[in-house]
A and B are shown apart, each in its own frame.
Chain A
């Protein structure tokens, strides 16, 4: 046992297989190991199973704290450097695909309260700091990004800009602050910060920038946003490129399904105006400015005055005869024809016009000629036509304006 190194003992403690003697030996070694700050000397006194992995992390043992913490960090503790890096690297947005690749791969990075939940707050404070440091630490993005884009030795203004904008991101301090432990544990944080690890977020960023961005034209082609030269180049690349074809098909499907999904799930909305109107000072959403029935009627009366509409109406009813009466009214061929007898006459004419057999042979008054001749429409003038309220007036005219005109009065019909 005495031959065991502290790392081995801590591994056994973490795995729950160390006996009391091994635990005591680990405490002895911890108390004198120069690699640890003084604040950690008694870390194994309480909850040794939880403290051991943190101590292992502090010694640089990979994933000493276990997959749980790694998962928590990966899932929730984002690294908020992408925007800074992009701003520094691409100040004029000259290479937006690369910039977008950075965003897509790195995303927004921040330490959230959710991290703390996932880190299991029952753990002692020091291991939390240690663990965060082990998995996140201070993130040195700049050098890696510059190296990947071939500017590692640049010493160029752009490198300085990157350094200034992005710098080093300290993930330890936000966690401590969120825990309310920043004052208490400042020395510890400093100690672990001194052994800063490095999280490589650049590799996926640059992979995305080089590989994925090379197919970004597929998306633009789908949207019809390529210019003539771009379309020609895209068509050339598309030819025989199954991957690009499949990608475009997939993108198109996603778009269609997205539209369908929103239409299906959102449904239709109406009556927004009813809610908006009162908010913008319209008490009655249905109000139509200037619409007032009484006022309108009054205005119409004032404008119209009194007008004789009979001529107008009758000209529509009877054709041109009333509009332009002949200078000399011709003698009607059937002088005996009178308005009061119109009903009988109309019945007779109708019978002639439609050739109703049932009328033949019926009783006909003696004073009605057997063969009736009617005036054409242009040969008569009706100056006035009066009838009771419950009478229907029908006007017949056969075949054009020259045909006979029949006025039918039906006293049985109520309007």
Chain B
């Protein structure tokens, strides 16, 4: 199983390298392959941090643009996606901090603003079956709980649970030792457990 996974991972990495070589060779459109390959994953990660679709989308776009413009500093022997995630995560955290500084509106008010997109209206649809509603409520609580974690804990748990990254990969992205990844992840889970227990 591990062998299969690592072989797949190696193939994926080689595919990335091919596209990057093409981009570096002057074919900017080859970058499209990388965008389409990673857009959903980067977006989900950004959403986990920001809990706002529009912001997550903006961060995803910005991350790809920033990565492209800094490709000269990327070492081909490294992993493109860990590099990309680091950029995306930093952008998402920066945006979160800006939001906190602004403090212009409460989270609920932000949700109400986005209501025009139909997203939240769907969440609060009164006609939904009770189970669906319960599930949606649970999801909202989980996302709220994630928002209450310190940034560094958010980062590791999202990278682990959404992306299934190894401690080594998380360490590469966050720049912290693997041992710290392990303990930070543990405390993040403990805190989430506590927060969700209080909600249930």
Interface residues of A (CB under 8 A from B): 93, 96-97, 99-101, 103-104, 107-108, 208, 212-213, 215-216, 218-220, 223, 225, 247, 250-251, 254-255, 257-270, 272-273, 275-277, 279-282, 285, 287-289
- Please name all residues of chain B whose beta carbon is closer than 8 Å to the beta carbon of A96 when the two chains form the complex: 177, 179-180, 182-183
B142 CB–A CB distance under 8 Å: yes
Chain A residues with CB under 8 Å of B184's CB are 100, 103
Chain B residues proximal to chain A, CB less than 8 Å:
27-29, 31-32, 35-36, 39-40, 43-44, 47-48, 51, 53, 56-57, 60-61, 64-65, 68-69, 119, 123, 135-136, 138-140, 142-143, 146, 150, 152-153, 157-158, 160-162, 166-167, 177, 179-180, 182-187, 189-193, 196
With both chains docked as a complex, state the minimum distance between the C-beta of B168 and any C-beta of chain A, in angstroms. Answer: 9
Q: Quick check: A258 and B157 within 8 Å, CB to CB?
A: yes
- 13 further contact pairs, Cβ within 8 A, besides A261-B140, A285-B32: A97-B186, A99-B183, A104-B187, A213-B183, A220-B185, A261-B138, A264-B139, A266-B48, A269-B39, A276-B31, A276-B65, A280-B28, A280-B68
Contact B29 A288 (CB under 8 A): yes
B contact residues around A212 at 8 Å (CB): 186-187, 190
Query: Whole-angstrom distance between the alpha carbons of A259 and B159 in the complex?
Result: 11
Closest to A267 in B: B53
| Residues of A contacting B158 in the complex (Cβ-Cβ under 8 angstroms) | 258
Contacts of B182 in A (CB 8 A): 96-97, 216, 219-220, 225
Give CA–CA (A277, B113) in the complex, Å.
29
**Min distance, Cβ A276 to any Cβ of chain B, angstroms:** 5
CB–CB A261/B142 < 8 A: yes
Name 28 A/B residue pairs within 8 A (Cβ), A-sorted: A97-B182, A100-B187, A101-B187, A103-B150, A103-B152, A104-B190, A107-B150, A216-B186, A220-B186, A223-B160, A225-B167, A251-B189, A254-B192, A255-B160, A257-B139, A261-B139, A261-B140, A262-B162, A265-B47, A266-B47, A266-B56, A269-B39, A269-B43, A272-B57, A273-B32, A280-B31, A280-B65, A289-B29
